[in-house]
Structure 1
Amino acid sequence: MADLRERVESEYEAIRKTLAAMPTHRRLESLSVLELAGVAALLHNFYNGIENVIRQVFAAEGLNLPDGPAWHRDLLLAAVRHSILAETTAEQLSRFLAFRHFFSHGYALDLDPERMASLVADARIVFEVVQQEIERRLRTGD
């Protein structure tokens, strides 16, 4: 369990650094395309960090990780099914997952500052909720 705790804390620290680097959502409209692409990369990193935490819990508990082309979505669904995350939390994270998919497969010139602003505004709150749910899981082990 100590090893899991260390890996999760390491991910949390990377997520905190990512969040600290994000501008406020009010400033996104004034950013250049290049700066907006940087914020998009931070949102992508944020979601990847959350996925890494969930994957660490799955591995520590011997749960099968989803695979296949929809494994990112299936990971959220499985986290709910195994009571690692609440359904409402997974719904919030699905917004970040959708953005992650768009960012990975789209063009930086198509980034929408307004859509990104809501994600930037919500990222810290979503992270706090995820931390609370993961911490509950680590304490109880169920």
Structure 2
Amino acid sequence: MLKAKIKSQVETIEKLFAKVEERRAPQSSAEWESLAFRLHNLYCAFEDLFKIVADAFENQIEEKTRYHAELLKRMAMEIEGVRPALLSSETVRLLDNLRSFRHFFRWAYTSDLDTRKLRLVLEDALSLKNRYRHDVSVFMRRLFESSTTKQKEGK
């Protein structure tokens, strides 16, 4: 079931990457806002992936004020005997920039978008694509190799 949930969420992330890439050269303020919305949605989709992993293996995050940052941080942690790390530290760094932008976008009702900053967020998001794919692939391989080994050992 976990494998299917992760696969489904990765498909959602891929669709959102395609939408971000379609909007990567905005000209008008409406196009910039559309790009910002897609980047916001992209991080939300990543966070849903993190929740799938966390729900399968971990206790709840106690400190609700830092929930989003803590959830992301946990994805770089290997929990010995439980699960490998989902993400590398570099992927987490890029995602943390996207997380910060998502927070700004969600709460900045009256602020205008700074296109210089949005370009940096876009650059980080596009850099994420191959990194996260590699990280998820390694995670799945290690996780399911580990579970196969445990089954063979009768654990």
TM-score scaled by length of structure 1: 0.83
Contact 2:76–2:88 (CA under 8 A) maintained in structure 1: yes
**What are the Cα deviations for residues 92-122 of structure 1, in whole angstroms up to 9, with x where unaligned?**
1110010000001103651112211222233
Give the one of 74, 78, 92 matched to 2:74.
Answer: 78
Within-5 A mapping of 1:94-133: 94-107=96-109, 109-133=111-135
- After TM superposition, the structure 1 stretch with the greater mean CA deviation from structure 2, 109-118 or 39-48, is 109-118
Give the % identical residues: 26
Aligned-partner Cα distance in 2 for 1:63–1:40: 32
- 42-51 or 106-115, which moves further after superposition? 106-115
Q: Structure 1 counterpart of 2:98, which letter?
A: F
Residue 99 of structure 1: SS of its match in structure 2? helix
Q: Which runs of 5 or more residues in structure 1 are unaligned?
A: none
Query: How many residues were matched structurally?
Result: 136
Q: Give the structure-2-normalised TM-score.
A: 0.77
SS in 2 for 1:130: helix
Higher RCO (C-alpha under 8 Å, 6+ residues apart): 1
Q: Does the 8 A contact of 1:65 with 1:75 survive in 2? A: no
Instruction: Tell me which stretches of 4 or more aligned residues in structure 1 moved more than 4 Å.
Output: none
Q: 2: distance between equivalents of 1:138 and 1:35?
A: 36
Cα gap change, 1:71/1:139 in structure 2, threshold over 3 Å: closer, same or farther?
same
1:27-66 matches, within 5 Å, as 27-28=25-26, 30-32=27-29, 34-60=30-56, 62-66=57-61
Aligned partners of 1:108 and 1:114: how far apart in 2? 18
CA RMSD of aligned residues (A): 2.0
Higher share of residues assigned helix: 1
Aligned 8 A contact 1:24 1:121 in 2: no
Q: Which structure has the larger Rg?
A: 2
